[in-house]
Structure 1
Amino acid sequence: MNRISAGSPSRRRFLGQGAGLAAAGVLARPALGQTGQRIAPVDATFLFIADVHACRMASGLSPNCQQEGKTDAALLRSIAALNAIGEKHWPAEINGIATGLRSAGSRIDTPLGLVVGGDMTDDGGGQVIQPSEGTQLLQFSQRFQQGVGPDRVHVPVYVGLGNHDLDQNGPPNHVD
């Protein structure tokens, strides 16, 4: 059989992709607002974190959390660092290698928000009503809520779920 593998270019594929690129170039236009005026670019700073792994349980920490540094004190240090980001400058180099950042050397603007990419908790819980469940979600929500003071995040917080945010060890009839 004379089959052309999916990876080898054919004339038809080449022409089709070329036409698509040409159309994209012709149809590309600047972003316009409802008034038809060009929208000025927005320079916005957001912080992104993931894998917070809040570890508090009703009777202390989950197993191994102390050894892994997943403590309330560590959460508070993270919050202090997030809140202090506006006092820092964009790096011009990292480990001797130029970053190429347009803003290198300039002060980091106050972030417009904190995006949490999941794994807020170490092993979820709280989906069913049990006295010992939900303490990790509670710890995360208490620490990573917007507010004032050293123990609160000073910008809006936008949260996403990760696999660890589901109940990992709930009763058999309530498995996620």
Structure 2
Amino acid sequence: MDTAADLLFLNEEVALRINPFSEGEYLVIQTHPQEKNLKVSKRSFDYEEAKKYCELENLGHDYATFELRIIRDNKLWTVNNLGYPRTISQQQDWKVSLEYLEAIHDNDNHGEIIVCFCSYPYFHGVTAQTSSNCVTCLVDDHGREIHSCPNCQVASLQFKIKNSKFKIKDN
């Protein structure tokens, strides 16, 4: 017997959020403001449909920017004017480790997930001695200490200052 939860999959919007992305699928994603998880606004195998939808989203939002990407080799790629992959996108479908997502809600924890300019998420923690460290928080690479973004090589101090809630004093 079907349950109410089973029937949710009949709703295309719910089903698309859960289904994995497919090779050759066009995604309209929000590129600004950046979030911890990829925010997909539209999925389609039709380039013209996805392109028109992206243009409408950009016209309809004052504080958000949307871009068109295509899935190739399980990665996001930018698209040329014919709909073919051009270059690998700096935005990807990052998989954040559950322990870091849970740490956000832990009141004893003094750290947060910060998103780099290129959309790469990392965990910035502050220890009891007020020293700070940045570690990767991805499922496949969590816990490695970093000093620059593994995705775009921006020095971590630069994106910490602009994105962090912590205030850094000049000496």
Q: TM-score, normalising length from structure 2?
A: 0.25
**Bigger RCO of structures 1 and 2 (CA < 8 A, at least 6 apart):** 1
Between structure 1 and structure 2, the one with the greater Rg is 1
The structure whose residues are more often strand, as a share, is 2
